[in-house]
Amino acid sequence: MSRSKNKRQLITLTNSRSPISESYRALRTNIDFSSIDEKLQVIMVSSAGPGEGKSTTIANLAVAYAQSERNTLLIDADLRKPTAHHTFSVSNRWGLSSVISKQCTIEEVVQMTDIPNLNVMTSGTIPPNPAEMLGSNRMSAIIEHLKSQYDVILIDTPPLLAVTDAQIVASKCDGAILVVDQGRVKRDIAKKAIQNLQAVNARILGVVLNNVKRKANEEAYYYYYGTQE
Ligand SMILES: Nc1ncnc2c1ncn2[C@@H]1O[C@H](COP(=O)(O)OP(=O)(O)OP(=O)(O)O)[C@@H](O)[C@H]1O
Ligand SMILES: [Mg+2]
């Protein structure tokens, strides 16, 4: 596998039998079972603060969905600090921001990954007005269109407490997963993030605790490993 500076490895690919990969499959199964009557087709991930593991979680979850033979699309709606293009080694010349600004069509920016059943829409060029873009009617129309093409759409977003982007995206999704870095984030901060999601009537599907009992000598067991940015 080629390794650029920002290359990120996905444990669900590099070690799909590890207990950590199994936990991503369990997350997928839990999401599947959490909704019997309503369809959970568009799912986003966010966290209270930066660097809690959102992108790592959604990328591995996307692989887990694709591995279950579902036609899966990962959208990088973190228009501030996008990473999906690094994770899947694809270009970020065009992406979500290009479609919202009508520079490209959806078909032009959806890229195949090396993983069967998994396509990705990267962020595109970072715009000056991410929140406005994500809140646009065009963004809603893009999601609606994609719903007819994919079984599952997974969306990465920026931190909830820093900017309004994630809240805006949450209002357009069927459900949200909150990633909490257990070693770092205090309970009241996590609560605030949950309140932010509830304020837009988001359905919180669950909380993923990241970095549980993280110790310096446990590095090999972290579910994400690779070059740090
Ligand atoms: N469980 C983990 N063990 C070790 N490192 C981790 C773990 N989860 C995430 N990381 C590392 O922490 C960094 C941040 O992770 P990630 O990019 O997934 O977070 P994020 O919430 O998407 O960040 P941002 O808010 O910047 O978008 C990455 O470099 C990743 O390698
Ligand atoms: Mg991220």
- 114: domain CATH number is 3.40.50.300
Per-residue pLDDT tens digits of the chain, which is 229 residues long: 344 556 788 999 999 899 989 999 999 999 988 877 788 999 999 999 999 999 999 999 999 999 999 999 999 999 999 999 999 999 999 999 999 999 999 999 999 999 999 999 999 999 999 999 999 999 999 999 999 999 999 999 999 999 999 999 999 999 999 999 988 888 899 999 999 999 999 999 999 998 876 454 444 444 443 333 3
Q: Give the closest ligand to the alpha carbon of residue 224.
A: 1
Ligand 1, atom 14, residue with closest C-alpha: 51
User: Considering the domain boundaries, does residue 193 fall inside one?
Assistant: yes
Query: Residues whose CB is under 5 A from ligand 2 (ion)?
Result: 54-55
CA distances from 5 to 86, 90, 199 (A): 9, 14, 39
Contact predicate 44/205, CB 8 Å: no
19-34 and 54-67 helices, crossing angle to 10°: 80
User: Considering the domain boundaries, does residue 143 fall inside one?
Assistant: yes
Q: Cβ < 6 Å from ligand 1: which residues?
A: 47, 50-56, 78, 81, 83, 159, 210-211, 222-224, 228-229
pTM of the model: 0.90
Ligand 1, atom 29, residue with closest C-alpha: 228
Tell me how many domains the chain contains. 1
Burial class for 106, CB neighbours closer than 10 Å (0-12, 13-18, 19+): middle
Domain boundaries, position 82: 34-212
Q: In 3D, which of 23, 88, 50 has the Cα closest to residue 31?
A: 23
Ligand 1, atom 3, residue with closest C-alpha: 222
User: Considering the domain boundaries, does residue 177 fall inside one?
Assistant: yes
User: Considering the domain boundaries, does residue 82 fall inside one?
Assistant: yes
User: Considering the domain boundaries, does residue 53 fall inside one?
Assistant: yes
User: Considering the domain boundaries, does residue 17 fall inside one?
Assistant: no
User: Considering the domain boundaries, does residue 161 fall inside one?
Assistant: yes
